[in-house]
Amino acid sequence: MNSAGQASQTVGQGSQTVSVLHQIAAVMGLELKKTFLSRRGWWVYVLALAPVGLALLHSVSMGHIRWRGHNAGQDAKIFAAMFQTYFLHLGIFFGCVGIFTNLFRAEMLEKTLHYYFLTPIRREWLVTGKYLTGLLVAAVLFPASAGLSMYFMGRHQGAAWSDFLMHGPGLAQLLAYMMIALLASIGYGAVFLTAGLFFRNPMIPAATSVQAFTTEAIVTHHSGPISVPPNGVHETYQFIPMKGQASFVFDVFEAMMAGAPKVGKSTA
């Protein structure tokens, strides 16, 4: 009797787990169709695709203008500055603001959230389904954007860039950037999903974090590293494969201007 009872209990727990997974999958499917395949989130895709466009523009322009001493290492440094400046502090940050804060806030404003509560689904599974939906979108957009941006950044180098990626440290750096983008999406997503529940205006927590970013960039550039309030991305810095000497905001300009006095048109 005891073994039969334990078997019955195990079967019941298994069927309950399957039911929960089905409910979460149903929420994810509905949210993908309703929110992320609509026109309302177009600007999130612009944030994700913008660095890819910039990397392509850089590669095309460098195909017509050669900087003396400009090599694969310089392109890797430029992308490192772009990643630390744009992806971590702007692109992924505001992209997650747009993705995760609207998961509940938009339904509250449109007064459609109660439709979920009329279904036999527990609230924790509803939150889980919505979070996983936002994370799926962010995990596809931003790591892919980071990978494509780095690939196109040095594409004008030709065989040298291919050798840097396949036989040098380039592939490991590319995978590290993609993993960091994923980790940032996970962390930002949890923060802004919660912010969407407690703040009527999601720009309040966003503006607070932007102020911390700006203070860190300016003070670090002029005074060296100091202790600043954590802004949510410090934990990912240890995984960044290449760090600029300057602060994030100014590193892009320093890297790009390093060869500016020696710019000359190709005679080939």
**Residue 68: burial class (beta carbons within 10 Å; 0-12, 13-18, 19+):** exposed
Instruction: Give the domain ranges of the chain.
Output: 18-259
**Total-model pTM:** 0.75
pLDDT in tens, 153-203: 988 888 889 999 998 898 999 999 999 999 999 988 998 888 877 776 666
Which parts of the chain sit beneath pLDDT 50?
A: 1, 7, 11, 218-231, 245-257, 259-268
Model pLDDT, residue 6: 52
Model pLDDT, residue 206: 60
Phi, psi of 65 (to 5 degrees): -125, 130
Query: According to DSSP H, which parts of the chain are helical?
Result: 2-31, 42-64, 72-82, 92-100, 102-110, 114-117, 123-153, 159-166, 170-198, 203-223, 234-237, 248-257
Q: Give the residues across from 67 on adjacent strands.
A: 263
Q: Which residues of 78-107 are buried (b: 16+ CB within 10 A; e: fewer)?
A: bbbbbbbbbbbbbbbbbbbbbbbbbbbbeb
